[in-house]
């Protein structure tokens, strides 16, 4: 499909990477990329979109969402009732699709696009499940994608790092990224998930894994060090130990302190779009779903928000970026690589659950869940997710997510935007909530109301920078991908307390444009664009890879699959787009 030429006229532009805050400007796109201007002959052939009195942002970027792969599919199986709650009918252009918390791959792509998103990264790919994950990502329309490889309980890495062999560990990670066509390093409950194979967990970052005798502290430090040794595009993506337990903020705080002295270092071969704000990531750790990692209290009886301790630390340091993991109330499906955390939630709720052990690598658990306003703990969680976003003073350190579908499905993002923009909207929800929401969090005292510019930072600029995609995503600078979202909001007449209207507007963008082509309009899919799958093609210096592979081969006998069937060939990817990474010192 030929990328289109398009002129977007007279919109109010919100493009934080270029410090543009609502100015009325035109945006031009040619051959799929933002250009400074179009010649008069190009203008004649261009599609013209009139964005007068409208809000124009770069296409949305979701840096943490569960949309493809084995555990998502398990979620679909476990939630048959999910399939009549949100439906799209087939059109001449589209597939039919269904599912609210765990939509079909087709529906997921269409709904993201309807909201103005063009880029979504899958948050957890177990190496052995990479083929399946890529098959689902390939079938997800409308979106450019990539995914993070789950490595925090990997037998090879636990051995190499225990032995202090950082070079071999780095060679392994580099090889794994290429082999499974993945983009970044994910670490979930390091050493605890492997202990779960024996019915145990770890309760602190200094408790060693039973068999490999390595601690979570060493694993987190090791992976952060490898990440920078390899000059990866994004920082190490961390789901800390003890998640979902009262008092877990303490473990989280200790965990994000570990890489304090590790310097962010990215070296990728790409064309950079023009930006005013430095597009390079600054952080050496990306803490995900901070809300789930910040529980306070010592039991469910004295449960309270513990976000303040995390927010205070993030406010005074430069090496942490985090996403919120907001809880917008209603149905969710909890799914994570943290099997023991899901088991504990099953014991607590009695909800059905599933668990998987992924051989030498990791695990996962899935559990259908509903967050209720009348439930004391859930109401505090709602407040905590918003506290994370409103409490971090520098919006360039935080990202708006629900950890979809863990806190709630991504289609609820517009509700979160409404709460962030209006204190009155939050007050209305407080009045419907259990009183713990105000008694056990600080949210009610927060009077910050976010602007459209702030929202553009939280949903475009910071996520794209945090995952090292700001060379082409989350920006309308010259050379960026021609991905644009146009919302029917006149910023000069914005009524922040009209929450219903704000929600409706962000639910269905007036136009979503991808690579210069109008792909959806007011929720209706207009075109199926080409999509790309990004992965890190990491080059390492020296011949460490050969020795490392000999060892991997020796240990492969513990796998149920043969070595030759392990890699994911490029044909499993839609439009494979390797990011050349110059690793090694
Ligand atoms: Zn997640």
What are the two backbone dihedrals, phi and then psi, of residue 25, each rounded to the nearest 5 degrees? -150, 170
The angle formed by the CA atoms of residues 311, 313 and 317, to the nearest 5 degrees, is 120
Distance 337 CA to ligand 1 centre (A): 8
Distance 339 CA to ligand 1 centre (A): 13
Distance 12 CA to ligand 1 centre (A): 33
Distance 544 CA to ligand 1 centre (A): 32
Distance CA 288, CA 68 (A): 18
Q: Torsion over CA of 109, 239, 183 and 318, rounded to 10 degrees?
A: 110
Distance 406 CA to ligand 1 centre (A): 7
Cis peptide before 405 (omega within 30 of 0): yes
**Tokens describing residue 199:** 């019915």
Residue 584, pLDDT score: 78
What are the two backbone dihedrals, phi and then psi, of residue 385, each rounded to the nearest 5 degrees? -60, -40
Distance 99 CA to ligand 1 centre (A): 19
Name the 3-class secondary structure at 388: helix
Strand ranges (E), 38-171 = 47-50, 55-58, 60-65, 87-88, 97-98, 117-125, 144-150
Distance CA 71, CA 535 (A): 21
Distance CA 581, CA 227 (A): 11
Per-position b or e across 462-501, b if 16+ CB within 10 A of its CB: bbbbbbbbbbbbbbbbebbbbbbbbbbbebeebebbbbee
Query: How much of the chain is in helix, strand and coil states, percent to nearest 5?
Result: 35, 25, 40
Distance 325 CA to ligand 1 centre (A): 8
Sign of CA dihedral 309, 315, 318, 321: positive
Domains annotated for the chain, with CATH where assigned, are: 6-57+478-525 (2.30.40.10)
Distance CA 494, CA 490 (A): 6
Question: How many secondary structure helices (H) and strands (E) does the chain include?
Answer: 19, 25
Distance 563 CA to ligand 1 centre (A): 29
**Tokens describing residue 302:** 């004295």
What are the two backbone dihedrals, phi and then psi, of residue 21, each rounded to the nearest 5 degrees? -120, 75
Distance 66 CA to ligand 1 centre (A): 6
Distance 36 CA to ligand 1 centre (A): 38
Residue 143, pLDDT score: 98
Distance CA 182, CA 205 (A): 27
Distance 288 CA to ligand 1 centre (A): 7
Distance 96 CA to ligand 1 centre (A): 26
Distance 64 CA to ligand 1 centre (A): 6
Neighbours of ion ligand 1 (CB under 5 A): 123, 403
Concatenating the DSSP letter of every residue in 168-209 gives HHHHHHHHHHHHHT--EEEEESTTHHHHHTTT---SSTTSPP
Distance 365 CA to ligand 1 centre (A): 12
Half-sphere CA count of 261, side-chain side, radius 13 A: 0
Distance 497 CA to ligand 1 centre (A): 30
Distance 292 CA to ligand 1 centre (A): 10
Residue 585, pLDDT score: 64
**Tokens describing residue 420:** 């962030």
Sign of CA dihedral 368, 98, 519, 492: negative
CB distance 59 to 513 below 8 Å: yes
Residue 2, pLDDT score: 52
Half-sphere CA count of 176, side-chain side, radius 13 A: 29
Distance 242 CA to ligand 1 centre (A): 15
Distance 481 CA to ligand 1 centre (A): 26
Average pLDDT, consecutive stretches of 10 residues, N- to C-terminus, the chain (585 residues): 82 98 98 97 95 98 98 96 94 97 98 98 98 98 98 98 97 98 98 96 96 97 98 98 98 98 96 96 97 98 98 98 98 97 96 96 97 98 98 98 98 98 98 98 98 98 98 98 98 96 98 98 98 96 90 94 95 97 85
Residues 6+ apart with CB under 8 A from 62: 112, 117, 119, 120, 121, 401, 404, 410, 463
What are the two backbone dihedrals, phi and then psi, of residue 492, each rounded to the nearest 5 degrees? -80, -15
Residue 323, pLDDT score: 98
Distance 533 CA to ligand 1 centre (A): 19
Q: Torsion over CA of 410, 470, 124 and 313, rounded to 10 degrees?
A: -90
Distance 147 CA to ligand 1 centre (A): 12
Name the 3-class secondary structure at 510: coil
Distance 461 CA to ligand 1 centre (A): 20
Residue 260, pLDDT score: 97
* Reported pTM: 0.98
Distance 198 CA to ligand 1 centre (A): 24
Distance 508 CA to ligand 1 centre (A): 25
In this structure, the strands spanning 511-514 and 484-487 are antiparallel
Q: Torsion over CA of 153, 154, 157 and 162, rounded to 10 degrees?
A: 50
Distance 364 CA to ligand 1 centre (A): 11
Name the 3-class secondary structure at 580: strand
User: Nearest-CA neighbor of 523 among 68, 4, 107?
Assistant: 107
Distance CA 413, CA 459 (A): 10
Per-position b or e across 205-237, b if 16+ CB within 10 A of its CB: bebbbeebebbbbbbbbbbbbbbbbbbbbbbbb
What are the two backbone dihedrals, phi and then psi, of residue 382, each rounded to the nearest 5 degrees? -60, -50
CA 39 to chain centre: 38
In this structure, the strands spanning 20-30 and 33-35 are antiparallel
Name the 3-class secondary structure at 269: strand
Residues 6+ apart with CB under 8 A from 549: 175
Distance 565 CA to ligand 1 centre (A): 27
Cα R_g (the chain), whole angstroms: 22
Q: Which residue has the tokens 């979902």?
A: 244
């Amino acid at each position: 499909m030929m990328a289109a030429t398009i002129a977007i006229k007279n919109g109010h532009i919100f493009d934080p990477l270029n410090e543009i805050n609502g100015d009325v400007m035109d945006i031009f796109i040619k051959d799929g990329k933002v250009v400074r201007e179009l010649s008069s002959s190009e203008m004649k052939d261009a599609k013209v979109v009139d964005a007068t009195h409208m809000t124009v942002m770069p296409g949305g970027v979701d840096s943490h969402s569960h949309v493809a792969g084995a555990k998502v599919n398990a979620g679909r199986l476990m939630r048959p009732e999910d399939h009549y709650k949100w439906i799209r009918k087939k059109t001449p252009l589209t597939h039919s699709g269904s599912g609210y918390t765990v939509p079909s791959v087709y529906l997921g792509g269409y709904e993201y696009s309807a909201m103005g998103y063009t880029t979504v990264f899958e948050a957890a790919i177990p190496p052995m499940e990479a083929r399946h994950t890529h098959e689902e990502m390939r079938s997800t329309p409308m979106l450019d994608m990539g995914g993070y490889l789950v490595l925090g309980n990997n037998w090879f890495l636990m051995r190499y790092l225990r032995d202090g062999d950082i070079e071999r560990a780095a060679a392994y990670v580099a090889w794994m990224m290429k082999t499974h066509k993945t983009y970044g390093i994910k670490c979930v409950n390091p050493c605890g998930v492997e202990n779960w194979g024996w019915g145990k967990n770890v309760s602190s970052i200094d408790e060693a894994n039973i068999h490999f005798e390595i601690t979570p502290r060493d694993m987190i430090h090791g992976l952060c060090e490898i990440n920078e040794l390899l000059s990866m595009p994004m920082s190490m993506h961390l789901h800390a130990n003890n998640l979902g337990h009262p008092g877990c903020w303490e473990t989280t705080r200790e965990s994000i302190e570990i890489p304090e002295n590790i310097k962010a270092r990215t070296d990728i071969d790409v064309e950079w779009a023009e930006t005013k704000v430095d597009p390079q990531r600054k952080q050496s750790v990306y803490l995900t779903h901070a809300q789930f990692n910040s529980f306070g209290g010592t039991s469910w009886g004295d449960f309270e928000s513990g976000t303040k301790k995390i927010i205070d630390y993030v406010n005074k340091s430069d090496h942490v970026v985090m996403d919120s993991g907001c809880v917008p109330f209603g149905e969710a499906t909890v799914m994570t690589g943290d099997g023991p955390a899901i088991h504990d939630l099953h014991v607590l709720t009695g909800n059905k659950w599933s668990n998987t052990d992924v051989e030498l690598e990791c695990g996962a658990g899935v559990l259908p869940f509903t967050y209720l306003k009348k439930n004391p703990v859930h109401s505090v969680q709602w407040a905590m997710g918003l506290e994370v976003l409103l409490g971090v003073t520098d919006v360039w350190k935080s990202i708006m997510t629900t950890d979809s579908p863990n806190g709630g499905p991504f289609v609820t993002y517009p509700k979160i935007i409404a709460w962030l923009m209006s204190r009155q909207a939050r007050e209305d929800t407080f009045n419907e909530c259990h009183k713990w929401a105000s008694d056990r969090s600080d949210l009610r005292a927060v009077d910050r109301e976010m602007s459209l510019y702030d929202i553009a930072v939280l949903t475009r600029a910071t996520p794209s920078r945090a995952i090292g995609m700001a060379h082409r995503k989350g920006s309308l600078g010259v050379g960026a991908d021609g991905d644009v979202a146009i919302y029917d909001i006149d910023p000069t007449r914005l009524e922040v307390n009209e929450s219903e209207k704000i929600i409706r507007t962000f639910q269905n963008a007036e136009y979503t444009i991808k690579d210069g082509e109008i792909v959806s309009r007011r929720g209706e899919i207009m075109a199926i664009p080409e999509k790309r799958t990004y992965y890190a093609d990491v080059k390492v210096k020296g011949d460490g890879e050969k020795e490392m592979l000999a060892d991997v081969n020796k240990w492969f006998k513990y796998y149920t699959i043969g070595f030759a069937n392990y890699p994911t060939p490029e044909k499993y990817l839609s439009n494979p787009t390797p990011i050349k990474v110059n690793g090694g010192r």
